[in-house]
Amino acid sequence: MPPLYLASGSPRRRELLTQIGVPFTAISADIDETPLPNETPSEYVERLARGKAEAGMASILSHGGSASACVLGADTAVVLDGRILGKPVDKADALAMLNALSGREHEVLTAIALLNGQRCEARVISSRVGFRPILIEEAQAYWASGEPQDKAGSYAIQGLAAIFVVGLHGSYSAVVGLPLCETAELLGRFGIPCWQHLEGNKP
């Protein structure tokens, strides 16, 4: 079975991958996340997921790692009216995003890409999240908690922002950062089973 690397600094993605019983090594894969001209949100997240996987593989090979390794990359974007809401640059930016999301439904796109020495396969998963109206006092208190500062769209559904969510259509784990159903299917195509901690699935 090939070794698996997760090209992500996100603790949430590490927790989700651990949840489905897949051993892995986390590595950093810093890439330029600037959207390209005329790039759709779906194209954007897939490009970044593939780019992170490629950067991770390059890092592994440069340190004498095995070319048989598999590298998983992922990227998540919050999309409102066709516009990508990235990580906030400051408090004003975060409050503006939360105000835009308030009382509305938005899309969350998460792409995953799995790469080995022979091929790279990717998936893009779309989910819809509905927010209740958010009071300005709530948005300010939420910013003060520190949680929104490194989150796409300025919120974390698995954290304090859960109280804003009135509906979710799609994959909860994808909104958090890693769609587990699709990730498990993709890993299986590369010979990496889930639930490896269970006796029957040990290699």
Which residues are designated catalytic? 75
As a 3-state breakdown, the chain gives helix, strand, coil percent values, each rounded to 5, of: 40, 25, 35
Q: Which residue has the tokens 């999301």?
A: 101
Strands 25-27 and 4-7: parallel
Q: How many CA atoms lie within 13 A of 114 on its CB side?
A: 21
Which among 149, 8, 12 is positioned nearest to 86, based on CA atoms?
Answer: 149
Classify strands 25-27 and 83-85 as parallel, antiparallel or unpaired: unpaired
Closest CA to 98 of 129, 143, 163: 143
DSSP helix/strand/coil, 193: coil
Question: How many whole angstroms separate alpha carbon 56 and alpha carbon 53?
Answer: 5
